[in-house]
Amino acid sequence: MPDLFTPIQVGALTLPNRIIMAPLTRARAGVERLPNALMKEYYVQRATAGLIISEATQISEQASGWVETPGIHTAEQVKGWKTITDAVHAAGGRIFLQLWHMGRASHPDFQPNGALPVSASAIRPQGDAHTPHGKKPFVTPRSLELEEITGVVQQYVDATLRAQEAGFDGVEIHGANGYLIDQFLRDGSNQRTDAYGGSIANRSRFLLEVTEAVVNAWSGDRVGVRLSPTSSFNDMRDSDPIATFGYASGALNAFNLAYLHVLEGLPGHIMALEGIHVAPHIRQAFTGVLMLNGGYDFEKGTNAIAEGEANLIAYGVPFIANPDLVERFREQAPLNPPDQATFYAPGAKGYTDYPVLQAV
């Protein structure tokens, strides 16, 4: 019976364990948005993960919307990421880059010439953007014109090719957490009446076109997709998440992906949508490697693997506070508590200074 320490083939990679480092925004790239030496130290510290999924990384200037997060749309950013991937590989690790377009969750302060952010529909989300000038309320985005969509898909392709150049082992398409792809998927944010709106098949079209283009640019076994069927982050909702995400997950089978990454709080977890648990339906619809994320500890992750609910378990906050999480799980050692005040703060404090077992 497999457990968290059982090796597994995931696309083109053989992972030594099934303990995955989830993508985690940490805002350490500076105002230049350049991957740097501090980020390299952070990722290398966590290279024992079966796979590292990088923090969400903007695929273009239009895609940006969070302060001091890294990009993958300039030659300098590619060069910076290459120092990180080389170091992670030298430490025996594997790393995918998460491709990020924030859509309406951005703000004119981030956009070229102060333009409106774009989305599936011109619907303003409740909440605030984290701008260089502090928190500001989200604005009403501009609905993407039909003829613009191909160009946005191309942004994902260009970023994929740059990720390849930067030495990543693959890419994860960020289709979760209320960002652009999710905005097309869910009917709470998509009220289009053209080929990208209305039916579930139409609302899934943008996700599938992006995935097809990224797979064609690299290879299906180097591509993962992340979805969050019940997350309300960034003011998201859907009238029937089981139907929406069951369809989308089944449609993704066509691409022979490395994995599908589903972020959904376990029943009773703070991130869970009460009364609805979509992951089991996705498990039925998606025939490939399934990664689950959302409140798992060692015991819950072990049980999910053993019972066939998932093939991989992604851990977020535990990896922030425990660079040696794999070793701590293996030895059943206590975990460091996370310092939430430093999650997005600049500098090494709460980033690269958590103790490892040998130093406890």
- Residues recognised as catalytic: 179
Helices (H), 119-240: 149-165, 180-185, 200-203, 205-217
Burial class (CB in 10 A: 0-12, 13-18, 19+), 134: exposed
- For every residue of 88-143, DSSP letters joined together read HHHTT--EEEEEE--GGGS-TTTSGGGPPPEESSS-PPSSEEEETTEEEE--PPEE
Tokens coding 61: 């200037």
Tell me if residue 218 falls in helix, strand or coil: coil
* Structural contact between residues 12 and 171, judged by C-beta atoms closer than 8 angstroms: no
338-344: long-range contacts (C-beta < 8 A, 24 or more apart)?
Answer: 343/26, 344/25, 344/26, 344/27, 344/130
Tokens coding 120: 């599936």
Per-residue exposure over 209-218, b if at least 16 CB sit within 10 Å of its own CB, e if not: bbbebbbebb
Angle of CA points 315, 319, 325, to nearest 5°:
95
